[in-house]
Chains A and B, each alone.
Chain A
Amino acid sequence: MTILQIVEIVVGVAMIVFGILAINTKKLINSVIFLSVISMLAVVSFMLMRAPDVAITEAVIGSGLVTAIFVFTLYTTKKAGEKI
């Protein structure tokens, strides 16, 4: 088992853990943040699989932009005085 394979497994398991967290967490913003973490971990796994194009795209679009619009949605719909 090479070090890369161990990294692969760690990344993969971490994604699943964060996935479950994202689904089961109470606060929506946490959910979104966990999603963003998963996305970042996905970028890592894409890099491990020699897919730089996909990694860049996922980083910019999947992780960055999607998280941004999630956060904006939550921000624009929060009730007055509420923290998101």
Chain B
Amino acid sequence: MKQVVSILLVLAVGFFIFSALYFPNQGDSAFDSYGEVDLDERVSSSFIDKNVTGENDEVVFGESANLEDGSANYVTSVIVNYRSFDTLGEVTVLFISAFGVGLLLSGRRKKQAFAHQPNFILKYGARLVFGIMVIFGVYMFSHGHLAPGGGFPGGAIIAAALLLLYLADNDFRAKMKAFKVTEGIAGSIYVILGLLAIVIGGYFLMNFLPTGIVGTIFSAGLIPIIYVLIGLKVGSEIAGIVDSFLTVEVEK
């Protein structure tokens, strides 16, 4: 009975959503249907041409230089430059929820013991993979402005590497204090950079470093720096979460 009611309700909501979005009864719904989007009507067209602050017609990979934003990856340029403030909020979300998880699952903790003792090969193999993963993660967040990826997945990969160590070695326990310090410092530098921008350029979180040629590694001004900070921060936060979840409270 309850299920039937739930299904009916959900169907009712679905009916209204679909009828409002795709079958408008009066005039045009103004809702662009899937794929039929004209970017020129959206703010994003300026993000693609990178002409929010100045005049710029075309960005050419490897040629255009000193634009308002030097990232070849448009998503990165939106995240770290045009809408950097959102990203600050976003890392705060992760920061605060990691902190909350830590608070909830606090107390003297020990690692959750697994039923099977991992063998030698697994143990040391994992360490090897750990190194590779960390390098990959660092690569990812330092090349966020050129290739897909960026700080968030990069940081998560580093955390995943740590997770691997946790799983592969029953005795392993990372030093959480170090992660806390990393996350705090990374976050602080992010905010301080933003505040510095007020002093230098008059706007909070402004990209005050010069941007090079689009498509080169040192091309996007602050973007790589911030993405590295985000990567470190996200990595240490997720590591904190993983640590909290992989440990249990010590019974008194």
* Direct A–B contact in complex, judged by CB atoms less than 8 Å apart: yes
Q: Which A positions have Cβ atoms within 8 angstroms of B? A: 51-57, 59-61, 64-65, 68-69, 72-73, 75-76
> Is there an interface contact between A53 and B73, defined as CB atoms closer than 8 Å?
yes
| Interface presence of B156 (CB below 8 A) | yes
Q: Looking at chain A's contact residues, is the secondary structure mostly helix, strand, loop, or mixed? A: helix
- Report B-chain residues with C-beta under 8 Å of the C-beta of A55: 148
Interface residues on B, range: 20 to 34
Q: Digit string of B148-191 for contact with A (CB within 8 Å is 1, else 0)?
A: 11101100110110010000000000000000000000000000
- Report A-chain residues with C-beta under 8 Å of the C-beta of B245: 68-69, 72-73, 76
Q: Digit string of B125-162 for contact with A (CB within 8 Å is 1, else 0)?
A: 00000000000000000000000111011001101100
| Interface presence of B242 (CB below 8 A) | yes
Known: A53-B76, A53-B149, A57-B153. A65 touches B248 (CB 8 A): no
When C-beta atoms are compared, the residue in chain B nearest to A55 turns out to be: B148
- Report A-chain residues with C-beta under 8 Å of the C-beta of B153: 56-57, 59-61
Number of A-B contacts (CB under 8 A): 51
A sample of 24 cross-chain residue pairs with beta-carbon separation below 8 angstroms, ordered by A number, consists of: A52-B148, A53-B73, A53-B76, A53-B148, A56-B148, A56-B153, A57-B152, A57-B153, A60-B152, A60-B157, A60-B160, A61-B238, A65-B156, A65-B160, A68-B160, A68-B242, A68-B245, A69-B242, A72-B112, A72-B242, A72-B245, A72-B246, A73-B245, A76-B245
For the complex, what is the distance from the CA of A54 to the CA of B76, rounded to whole Å?
A: 11
> Is there an interface contact between A76 and B112, defined as CB atoms closer than 8 Å?
yes
Known: A68-B163, A68-B242, A76-B248. A61 touches B112 (CB 8 A): no
Known: A53-B76, A76-B112. A61 touches B246 (CB 8 A): no
